[in-house]
Structure 1
Amino acid sequence: MPTRVADRWPELQAAAATSRAVIGIAQRMSRNLTHSVALRLPAMVPFFPASQVVNAVSPERAVEAVRDAFVAYAQGEWTMPPKVYVPAYPAGDFRAMPALGGGHALLKWVTSFPGNPARGLPTVTGLVLLSDASDGSLRAALDAGAVTALRTGAAAIVAAEELGRRDAQTAAVIGAGVNGRAAAKTFLARGRDVALWDVDDERARAAADEIGARVAGSRQEALAADLLVTVTPGHEILLAEGSLGAGQHVSLMGADGPGKAEISVEELARVRIFCDDWEQVGPNGTPGRGRIYADDWEQASHNGDLVHAVEAGVLARDDVAQLGDVLISTVEGRQSDRDITIFDSTGLAIQDLAIALAALERAEDLDVLQLDL
């Protein structure tokens, strides 16, 4: 006798429930599997070796990016915790430099070993890591030496153009290492002839030939330039008391750590100083009475030329203006053609962030190497 549906209803209900349960389990397993596979997929991160950093960011683009970074920092849009030094003296030191801005976070781990060139090794090596500030994902890795050179040259010229005389005729760079060459190359990219001088005449000539600059006839000729950039290890005073002439500007880029100086305390005492970051420059850097500026007071007053004058009681916070504040017109820059202006730079992570972001913009265009992390 045929089985009635009604007789099998409980059985059919149980089967349906089982089917629904199985389907639910399958769906959950599918979602979990998809999520698991996604987690296991390699994260491809663009890596910019030194050559690709240079290809991605021209000196002119670097100037634009670094100027914008100074402005963003001065307006409080970008932030930068203090630079951390790990000394390995007398050979050199290691530095950890973080920054946050433009929707990204950056950390630069970089070295400074001035004696390395004599051993055929670079003075500056390291790695820059750029992450997305919204989810923490790594967005790029870059060669730190190339990033440092680009932003150092850019910062020096941003300061020279902002603080130097409008009718400045001559420009010179003292120090023909990697960062000195970058500064000279940036002057040239901005349409200004530049002279190079170095204690090693062969190095100066090689650098000048490479970038299309000329070699200064003497150290004194270079020191007398209307726009002067010094990029030396900072172990020797280049500018003694009375060295700077009326109307001259100097960007001090070499004394970027404790115990270094390119200018004497006495000379700082008579000029106006501008710094990139006061705290970073002060206890380890360079100030004065003409007009003194820094990249950042906090950094400059601890790790640049200014620190010696601060410790001697010759310089205080009110004597130094930050370059970013000049750029946004909250403080005055040069006020007369006879002003002597000094910019003391210790190098800021916000500058590195600016270069890294500019490079990332070109990642697809340049088809850079992708790291499988």
Structure 2
Amino acid sequence: MSGPLVLDAATMTRLMGPAAVTDVLAEALRAGVDPDAGPARTAVPVPAGELLLMPAAFGPFAGVKVAGVAPANPARGLPRITGSYLLLDGADLQPLALLDGAALTELRTPAVSALAVRHLAPDDRPLRLVLFGSGPQAYGHLEAVLAAREVAEVVVVARHPVGGRALAGYARTLGVLARTGTPDEVAGADLVVCCTTARAPLFDGTLVAPGATVVAVGSHEPAARETDTALVVRSEVYVEARSAALREAGDLLVPLAEGAIGAEHVAGDLADLVTGRRRPSAGRPRFFKSVGMAWEDLVVATALYRAAGRP
């Protein structure tokens, strides 16, 4: 009997593009996956950073991602996020496939954001996108947003100028007008995407226009956030799952601790948007906060396994 299928990063990228990954997440939510039902992420501090354990089961499959977060790695020329994903047969838990865990994260996180963008961002005009960050997630989010919406201009705001210029240059190779800019340019944005390692707000939330959409994906720690309390208070807030957001999303937990909002301030989750149970209101910013969840990894890993020709 042959061993598990091995899918490296290059193969995964070849098998499925951003739009296809976004579609499979939407299909899973329509099929009844319950994001609130899964186990919480386990985080274990280690000398190099943190180990994350993320198990899930849905339909005929189960799986677990073991991810490493090593903050010192980029200075060594190594990826900050490492790991592997083990896909299992749901009936007998026999291993079916081993996937590059970092590549899986780089595929599914932008796709989750793109799914929110499909439902929250305007679709009646090309969008002006302000993108915070210049790492792998910033590149992935650029591609995923371009697959979800027509974009008129991309403004890259990055801590490292060289990285920001490189990302803007890459955006231009995709046929988009792009340049670097400053945080206060969120005032003219239709869509703001934050995918950084920042632990404090990146911009003044009072500048975001009513009707604009803000997506924040950079942290899953209760004390870290990319957006400020002013934005959260002004916004109609959506999350992947209320349980995960109220456990890990500093962007929401800090305003909660300040007494600026209550838990009921969360208007809905991805399933509400995808199934049509909830539609965004007019006249307020829309804010989507994700922390990354195990069901997403399982759904995307399953789709990649099937795209590779396995049943």
TM-score (norm 2): 0.89
- The amino acid that maps onto 1:154 is A
CA deviations over 1:208-232 (Å, ceiling 9, x no partner): 3345352333333356420111001
Structure 2 distance, partners of 1:85, 1:224, is 38
Q: Is the 8 A contact 1:77 1:101 kept in 2?
A: no
> What secondary structure sits across from 1:242 in the alignment?
helix
Match of 1:86 in 2: 44
Structure 1 distance, partners of 2:102, 2:187, is 27
Match of 1:122 in 2: 79
Match of 2:307 in 1: 362
Measure how far apart 1:81 and its partner are.
1.1
Structure 2 distance, partners of 1:115, 1:272, is 36
Structure 1 distance, partners of 2:274, 2:73, is 36
* Mapping for residues 1-373 of structure 1, pairs under 5 Å: 41=1, 43-72=2-31, 76=34, 79-88=37-46, 92-168=49-125, 169-190=127-148, 192-193=150-151, 195=154, 196-210=156-170, 212=174, 213=176, 214-221=178-185, 224-285=188-249, 304-320=250-266, 321-330=268-277, 332-336=278-282, 338-364=283-309
Q: Is the 8 A contact 1:164 1:334 kept in 2?
A: no
Measure how far apart 1:191 and its partner are.
5.2
Q: Is the 8 A contact 1:276 1:323 kept in 2?
A: yes
Decide which structure has the larger Cα Rg and report it: 1
Structure 1 distance, partners of 2:87, 2:300, is 11
Measure how far apart 1:364 and its partner are.
3.7
> What secondary structure sits across from 2:219 in the alignment?
coil
- The amino acid that maps onto 2:8 is P
Q: Is the 8 A contact 1:281 1:345 kept in 2?
A: yes
- The amino acid that maps onto 1:267 is L
Worse-superposed segment, 120-129 or 224-233:
224-233
* Aligned-residue identity in percent: 26
Q: Is the 8 A contact 1:283 1:308 kept in 2?
A: no
Measure how far apart 1:133 and its partner are.
0.5
Q: Please tell me the root mean square deviation across aligned C-alpha atoms, in Å.
A: 2.3
- The amino acid that maps onto 2:159 is V
Distance 1:138 1:112, change over 3 A: same
Structure 2, unaligned runs of 5 or more: none
Worse-superposed segment, 222-231 or 174-183:
222-231
Q: Is the 8 A contact 1:57 1:355 kept in 2?
A: no
Structure 2 distance, partners of 1:254, 1:187, is 16
Structure 2 distance, partners of 1:176, 1:71, is 33
CA deviations over 1:159-196 (Å, ceiling 9, x no partner): 11201223352123211111111000112233523523
Structure 2 distance, partners of 1:130, 1:144, is 11
